[in-house]
Structure 1
Amino acid sequence: MKYLICFGLLLNSILCHGQRREKGDIELTPIIGYSTSYQLHSFLFGSTSVSGIQFGVYGNYFLNNRWSLRSGLLYQKMGTNNVDFSIFTDEYSERTNYISVPLTVNYHFGTKWKWYVNYGIGVGFLTNAEANYNDGNGFVDINNLANSTQFGIIGAIGYEFKVSPKFLLIVENSNLIGLTDTTEQRNGKNFYMSFNLGAVFKI
């Protein structure tokens, strides 16, 4: 019986240690999510959102058991739909796609540090841009008018589910507010929300 107790204590200590993060730990997190996007003026005047699929991978480097730095590569679709609201009408719709690089600081909290929040900046590199002027031509290429780089502020909150000592699942809500106009011809900044699922692999 005492051997079973000793074995149980040893196993418990190993599992508990596996859940803890320490300075220098690295995690990789592939994610996929559903996104909605507006530009600020279209959001205020009731435009429908531009939806899409976000996917990519995060890398997380731990400074200690509560703080970490997170970056990665993400594919993101953003844009705005035309607006027809009372005295304000805008028949312009836009779609912009980016490869984005977030850089955030994460704080882990709660029971066994399963919750986390993060904040920081993001840089998006344009891959394609198109617009619909409602002139009968549908969406047309506007890559020559679009800004090639987007800067924004990022904030997110998430929760981790333990599957094994070195494998976790996460659910998170991530948001971006653009600081730069998407095109040279219009003053529009993206407002982007995504709800993501991810798998955490400890290296």
Structure 2
Amino acid sequence: MKYLLCFGIMISSLICNGQIREKGNIELTPIIGYSASNQLDSFLFGSSSVSGIQIGAYGNFFFNNRWSIRIGLLYQRMGTNSVDFFIFTDEYSERTTYLTIPLTVNYHFGTNRNWYINYGAGFGILTNAEANYNDGNGYVDINDFANPTQFGINCGIGYKFNIAPEFLVIVENSNFIGLADSTKQKSGKNFHMSFNVGAIFKI
């Protein structure tokens, strides 16, 4: 019984410390999530969000057990829906998709460094754009009018669940605020929020 107790304590210790990284450690994190997006001006007037699935992966490089830098590649859907709010009416709806490269600084905290927050920049490359003018034609291609790139601010918070010393699961909230208009014909900056789950592999 004594040996079983000692073995249990040793395994528990390994599991708890498995979350704490050291200088030079690298993590690879594939993620999938549910997203809701809007444009800031439409959101203020009650426009409903554009929902979608976000997929991608992050790479995380650690400077020490608290600080790391994270870069990723994400497929994201953004846009806005028509507005009908009292005297404010806009029948324009927009759907855009991007390959986004976020670059953030992560701060890891908590006893086992299982919490983290991040802040940084995001650069998006447009893959498709379409709009509905509510004229009976449905969604039409507007790639010629859309800006081919976008730049903005990324921030988020997450929690890591330890499964094994080299394998963890994350649940996180991630947000992107665009600093440039999505198209040349309409003035609108994207706001994108997602809730993601992912698996962390130490490499």
Identify the TM-score tier after normalising by the shorter chain. over 0.9
**CA offset at residue 6 of structure 1?**
7.2
Deviation at 1:165? 0.3
Alignment match, 2:75: 75
CA-based RMSD of the aligned residues comes to: 1.7
Where 1:185 maps in the other structure, the secondary structure is coil
Give, in angstroms, the shift of residue 65 of structure 1: 0.2
TM-score normalised by structure 2 residue count: 0.94
Per-residue Cα deviation, 1:57-103 (whole angstroms, up to 9, x for no partner): 00000010000000110000000000011111100000000000000
Aligned equivalent of 1:46: 46
Structure 1 CA distance for aligned equivalents of residues 197 and 5 of structure 2:
38
Partner of 2:119: 119
Displacement, 1:41?
1.2
8 Å CA contact retained: 2:19, 2:114 = no
1:150 corresponds to which letter in structure 2? Q
Conserved 8 A contact 2:55-2:74: yes
Paired residue type of 1:72: G
**Structure 2: distance between partners of 1:5 and 1:53:** 45
1:39-188 equivalences under 5 Å are: 39-188=39-188
Deviation at 1:3, TM superposition (A): 7.0
Structure 2 gap segments, 5+ residues each: none
State how far apart, in whole Å, the 1-side matches of 2:150 and 2:132 are.
21
Corresponding residue SS for 1:68: strand
Distance 2:69 2:13 in 1: 27
Amino acid at match of 1:125: I
Structure 1 residues 38, 7: CA separation in 2 closer, same or farther (over 3 Å shift)? closer
Aligned to 1:29: 29
3-state SS, counterpart of residue 175 of structure 2: strand
Q: Which runs of 4+ in 1 moved over 4 A?
A: 1-17
Aligned to 1:116, the other structure's residue is in SS state strand
Mapped partners of 1:104, 1:69: distance in 2: 6
CA distance in 2, matches of 1:100, 1:8: 44
Q: Which amino acid aligns with 2:148?
A: S
DSSP 3-state at the match of 2:24: coil
- Count of aligned positions: 203
Q: Unaligned regions of 5+ residues in structure 1, if any?
A: none
Cα offset, 1:111, TM superposition: 2.3
| TM-superposed deviation, 1:11 | 5.1
Quick one: distance in 1 between partners of 2:159 and 2:9? 28
Q: Give the SS at the match of 2:41.
A: helix
* One-letter amino acid matched to 2:65: N
Tell me how far apart the structure 2 counterparts of residues 171 and 9 of structure 1 sit (CA, whole Å).
Answer: 27
Using the TM superposition, give the Cα deviation of residue 8 of structure 1 relative to its aligned residue in structure 2, in angstroms: 6.3
